[in-house]
Structures are given as C-alpha cells and as structure tokens.
Chain A
Amino acid sequence: MNTMNVNQLVRHILTFEKRLIDGLLCLLLVAMIVLACLQIGLRTFFSGGLLWADALLRYLVLWCGMLGAVVATREKKHIAIDVVGYLAPERIKPWTGLVIDLFSSFVGAVLTWAAVIFVRNEALFGGSPLLNVPTWGWNLIFPVAFALITIHFLLAIAADIRSLTGTGQ
C-alpha cells in the first residue's frame, strides 16, 4: 500500500471513531436523563423503582465522562494552566506543544497499562455483576478511554512534527 492509501485509511478510521464516540455520548446522555426521570416517576406514582437503576446511572456517568475526555483530547480542550501560553514567544510554541504531547502520550500509555492490569484483576476477583454484566465489563471503559486518549495524543505528535518540518498535509 502506498502512503496515500494509508493516509486515507487512517482518515476513514478517525472519522468512524469520531462518529461512533459522538453517537455513543448522545445515547448515554439521553439514557441518563430518561432513566433518572423514570426513577422519579416510578417513585412518585407507584412508590417503586428499578433496583439496578441507580447503580447503572453511576456507571453511565463514568462512561460519559471518560468518553467526553476522549473528545476533549481530540478537540484539544483539556483544562490546563496556560501561563506560558500567554507569555511565550510565538516561535517556540510548536516546540512546547511537541514536548507536551510527548509527555501526555507517555502518561496516557502508562495509564492505559495500569487500567489493563486493573480490569484483569477485576475479572479475577471482581464484585457482584450488574444486569448480568460483571464489574470488569463496566470498568472496561478505563482501558478503552485511556487507549483512545493516548492515540489522540500520538496523532497530535504527528501533527506537531508535520508543522515543525513544514510538510503540511
């Protein structure tokens, strides 16, 4: 395969990932709203409720947040102390950007690894399942999200290098 095709393939995959995550986020958010309101309704009118709903809601919050963090990485919208950003001369910014992305990718990769160990341990000694899904399944979001975050930081490095060497897309 020549480089053109690889580039195209990467772009296709990225578009697919963006759509998938965005769609999933909308779905999860709607599910949270509906489920929470349903609980209130059931309690008010039938003085009942779904036993698993509260636990499920808490996992939905986690999933939304972690996937949201993937989007924040993609859009470069993470919260940061940007003192140097205001003070640094324009010339060195691509370099600081590269350093930051290298550092972030590395930490992201370590976090992914830690999350894999965590999920593996959960699978061995995990707690009681929710809706027939074992706890490690619910916690799978950690390795998945951190892996995606790492990939986006790595992509950012590639973009940094391209802009530094002046070979635009």
Chain B
Amino acid sequence: MTSLKLLILALALLGSPLFIVIAAVALLSFSSVDINISVVIIEMSRLADTPLLLALPLFIFAGTILSESGTPRRLLRLSHVLLGWLPGGLAVVSLLVCAIFTAFTGASGVTIFALGGLLFPALIKDGYTEKFSLGLITSSGSLGLLFPPSLPLILYGVIAEVRIDHLFLAGILPGIFMLTLLVAYSMYKSPVKKEQQERVTARQIVTGLKEAAWELPLPFIVLGGIYGGFLVAGEAAAVTALYVLVVEVFLYQDIKLRQLPRLMVKSMMLFGGILVILAASMAATNFLVDQEVPMRLFEFIRQYISSKYTFLLLLNIFLLIVGSMLDIFSALVLVVPLIVPIARGYDVNLIHLGIIFLTNLQIGYCTPPVGLNLFLASYRFERPVIQLYSATMPFLGLLMVTLVIITYFPLLSLLLVRFFGG
C-alpha cells in the first residue's frame, strides 16, 4: 500500500499528469478501505453542484482572447503616454500594465510572453540595466493575482467555499500595497535621464484614450457588475466574455472570425486541465477529510504550536515551498482543503487565509530553484536561469516584505470587506 503510494509519488516527480497522479491516489485509498471506486466519480460529479465554477471557463476564454489581441500593445501605449513622464515612468507603467493584465489572464505565463517581449527592449532602451529589467518582468509575471477577476482567487473561493465578491474586495488593498512598494523601488532604481524627454502632447493622450476606449470599461464591468449587486461572479464572467468577444473580433478586428474556434478550443483545453485536477482532488481530499486527516494534523501541530502567528509563519514557509514546486491551480486544489480546517482551528479568517495563500503562491512563481516564471523568462529572453535568480532577488525581497505585512495585519485584507462586504 505504502510502497504503491511511493511509486505513484515517484511517477508524479517524473512528470506524470497531476490529475492522473491524484486520481490514482484517490482510487487506491478508497479501494484500500473497501469502498467501491465509483465513489471517485461520485465526488467528481459533485462539481456540477458548484455554480461558481462557471466563472472559470468564461474568464479563461476572455483572458485568452485578450492576450491574443492587440490589447497588451494598446494598454502599454496608453499608460506610457499617461505615466511615462514620471521618474521611473516606464518601470511604473510595466508594473501597472502587468498587474492589470495578469488579473484578467491569470499568471499563465501570458504576461511574460505577451508583455515581456514588448517591455524588455523598451526598458533597456530607456537606460535600465539588464538585470533590473529582467527582474522586473520576471516578478511582474504573476503580479496582479490579488486583483479581481483573478482566476486563482475564484478557484480558492470555490474550494474554500467562501464568497468570491468578498475575496475580490480583500485582494485590493494588499495588491495595491504590493504594487506601491515595487513602484517605489523602481523609481529609486530608475536611470538618470540624459536628455530632455520629449513632451507628451494632449493629442497623444486623446489618441491613446481613443485607441483603448473599448477596453477601458472592462474592469468597471467586472467590478461594477459584482459590487453594484447586478451580477454574481459567473454572470460577470459571461458578460466579460461576450464583451471581449464583440470588442476584439468585431470592433478592433484584432482576431479574425476564423481564428476564433482555435482560441475557443485552446481556452477550454486550459480549463479542462484545471477541471480534471479539481475533480480528482475532490475525491482525494474527501477521502482525507473522511479519515479526519486534517483534524489529526491539527491536533499534532497543536502540541507544538499554540499561537496563531507561529502557525501562520509555518504556513508561509510551507506555501512558499509548495508554490515554487507546483503550479498555482494544482497547489490551491491540493492544499486548500487540508489547510482550511486547520486554519479554522487556529481561528484564522478564511478570506484572509485566501489572500495569504495567493501572495505565497505568487511569490512561489519567482522563487528559485524551480519557480515557473524564472523558466518562462529564461526561455523567452534566452538568458540562463542562474542570471534570472540573481536578477529577481531584490524584487523577491520586497515581495517577502509584503507577505509578512499581509500575513500579520489581517486588517489590510479585511478592511474593504468590512466596509463594502454587505
């Protein structure tokens, strides 16, 4: 039994699809206690009782369309016109645009590939060092995960069964705080301008605004719809998908009608990859909960740790390791069901816990040795991974600072929820 599970673990490390690995563990566990294996599918079929799930495929579709269209280019041009004059303007622009873009597309590497390719040469041209530019882009690749309508945030809500509109609110202040810190650092590191910068004319601003006129309302559709009480998350996703479809295909015509099926299939493939992991882990974690593993784990930890804050510290270390090994969706799906009961035992607010989770997993993306962003950037910019390790270090340090603050000042996450959470 144990040896079989070790074998499965070895196969997981070899690179077997995670859903196969998790399903194998679930099948093995249930059959070991003489429960019919069809229970695994019963657990999976419970996904059809989750209305929140609708938000995932639709936001993934909207994100795929956005990243294949001219949106990154337009967004970048507009923010450059508006903010380029600031000290460290271009770096600030990069951070903001990456954050917004990642919020809509998820940290799927799209940000590094689509925006990084535009930003990196521009940063170098503006006189930033290569090291700084690489570090900035690599760590921005997952920036914005705390902002609505981020997919991992939705997935956390689905698994932990907390309100998604509350999670969206909770992410805003910590996200802004993180951005502010990175913006301040970028301004401090910005090169001294040699020549007088060209002035931005009013006409350029108008052109930029006009160009992106159809894309600017997007955040307001999502946020306004949800907090105005008109839409639930799934519906907001449907409206966003429809809006993006109409705007990019018919108004901007960035995406030809015949390209559309390919993008649809691609986005449903991404969703399918997440859904089967979610389905398999419904079964696996349900077995663990049935066997009261989280409770036993809690009692075990309780013997050594009595303080909530020590628990949170340990949780952070654990999640950083998980985040650097697993991709964000599988990490959420596997770890959240086990941690939630323990966190309840320590009286941690589940909304706050969600923000802690996401911050950790976001940082995990750029943590050596195997953080995904490091490899994506290494691949995209054709630099050795080692060089990216050192380039991201200062950014990683700053993100760690925000992590500590987010963890130990729950109010930062919960303030907006208290005011607007209803």
Chain A positions within 8 Å of B, measured between CB atoms, are: 22-23, 25-26, 28-30, 32-33, 36-37, 39-40, 44, 54, 57-59, 61-62, 64-73, 75, 77-86, 96, 99-100, 103-104, 107-108, 110-111, 113-115, 117-118, 121, 138-139, 142
CB distance from A117 to the nearest CB of B (A): 4
8 Å CB contacts to A: which residues of B293-351? 325-327, 329-330
Residue of B nearest to A103 (CB): B11
Assess whether B356 is interfacial by the CB under 8 Å rule. Answer: no
CB distance from B212 to the nearest CB of A (A): 23
Q: Whole-angstrom distance between the alpha carbons of A104 and B239 in the complex?
A: 38
Interface residues on B, range: 35 or more
Note all chain A residues with C-beta closer than 8 A to B20: 78, 103-104, 107-108
Q: Is the CB of A68 within 8 A of B27?
A: no
Stretch at the interface among B47-55, B99-107, B170-178, B183-191: B47-55
8 Å CB contacts to A: which residues of B259-277? 260-261, 264-265, 267-277
Q: Is the CB of B265 within 8 A of A71?
A: yes
Assess whether B396 is interfacial by the CB under 8 Å rule. Answer: no
Q: Whole-angstrom distance between the alpha carbons of A82 and B379 in the complex?
A: 15
Contacts A40-B235, A79-B18, A103-B11 hold; do A66 and B41 have CB atoms under 8 A apart? no
8 Å CB contacts to A: which residues of B341-384? 370, 375
Q: Is the CB of B16 within 8 A of A69?
A: no
Q: A54-B51, A79-B18, A111-B23 are in contact. List 9 more A-B contacts (CB 8 A).
A: A59-B48, A64-B57, A68-B271, A68-B273, A69-B273, A79-B329, A107-B27, A115-B38, A117-B38
Assess whether B238 is interfacial by the CB under 8 Å rule. Answer: yes
Contacts A68-B268, A78-B273 hold; do A86 and B42 have CB atoms under 8 A apart? no
Assess whether B241 is interfacial by the CB under 8 Å rule. Answer: yes
Contacts A71-B269, A79-B18, A107-B24 hold; do A118 and B38 have CB atoms under 8 A apart? yes
CB distance from B372 to the nearest CB of A (A): 9
Q: List 28 A-B contacts (CB under 8 A).
A: A22-B265, A25-B264, A33-B58, A39-B235, A57-B54, A58-B51, A61-B47, A64-B271, A65-B271, A65-B272, A65-B274, A69-B272, A70-B272, A71-B265, A71-B269, A77-B273, A78-B20, A80-B16, A83-B325, A84-B13, A84-B14, A85-B15, A100-B11, A100-B16, A103-B20, A114-B40, A138-B48, A142-B41
Contacts A71-B269, A78-B19, A114-B27 hold; do A36 and B44 have CB atoms under 8 A apart? no
Assess whether B420 is interfacial by the CB under 8 Å rule. Answer: no
Residue of A nearest to B330 (CB): A79
Assess whether B220 is interfacial by the CB under 8 Å rule. Answer: no
Q: Is the CB of A79 within 8 A of B274?
A: yes
Which one of B12, B13, B261, B275 lies within 8 Å of A69 (CB-CB)?
B275
Residue of B nearest to A121 (CB): B38
Which one of B41, B45, B245, B267 lies within 8 Å of A111 (CB-CB)?
B41
Assess whether B242 is interfacial by the CB under 8 Å rule. Answer: yes
Assess whether B86 is interfacial by the CB under 8 Å rule. Answer: no
Assess whether B36 is interfacial by the CB under 8 Å rule. Answer: yes
Q: Is the CB of A32 within 8 A of B325?
A: no
Assess whether B144 is interfacial by the CB under 8 Å rule. Answer: no
Q: Is the CB of B58 within 8 A of A32?
A: yes
Which one of B27, B38, B50, B265 lies within 8 Å of A25 (CB-CB)?
B265
Q: Whole-angstrom distance between the alpha carbons of A59 and B267 in the complex?
A: 18
Q: Is the CB of A77 within 8 A of B15?
A: no
Q: Whole-angstrom distance between the alpha carbons of A62 and B56 in the complex?
A: 11
Q: Is the CB of B12 within 8 A of A81?
A: yes
Note all chain A residues with C-beta closer than 8 A to B375: 86
Q: Is the CB of B327 within 8 A of A96?
A: no
Q: Is the CB of A83 within 8 A of B370?
A: yes
Contact with A along B213-254 (1 / 0, CB 8 A): 000000000000000001100110111011001000000000
Which one of A81, A86, A115 lies within 8 Å of B41 (CB-CB)?
A115
Q: Is the CB of A68 within 8 A of B238?
A: no
Q: Is the CB of A62 within 8 A of B241?
A: no
Note all chain A residues with C-beta closer than 8 A to B44: 142
Q: Whole-angstrom distance between the alpha carbons of A111 and B15 in the complex?
A: 20
Most central of B16, B242, B277 by chain A CB within 10 Å:
B16
CB distance from A78 to the nearest CB of B (A): 3
Contact with A along B30-72 (1 / 0, CB 8 A): 0000001110111011011111011011100100000000000
Which one of A44, A82, A85, A139 lies within 8 Å of B45 (CB-CB)?
A139
Assess whether B117 is interfacial by the CB under 8 Å rule. Answer: no
Q: Whole-angstrom distance between the alpha carbons of A142 and B42 in the complex?
A: 10
Contacts A29-B57, A107-B24 hold; do A36 and B234 have CB atoms under 8 A apart? yes
Residue of A nearest to B19 (CB): A78
Q: Is the CB of B245 within 8 A of A33?
A: yes
Q: Is the CB of A64 within 8 A of B272?
A: yes
Assess whether B17 is interfacial by the CB under 8 Å rule. Answer: yes
Q: Is the CB of B38 within 8 A of A33?
A: no
Q: Is the CB of A79 within 8 A of B17?
A: yes
CB distance from B408 to the nearest CB of A (A): 31
List the 5 closest pairs (A to B, CB-CB), nearest first: A68-B272, A65-B275, A36-B238, A78-B17, A69-B272
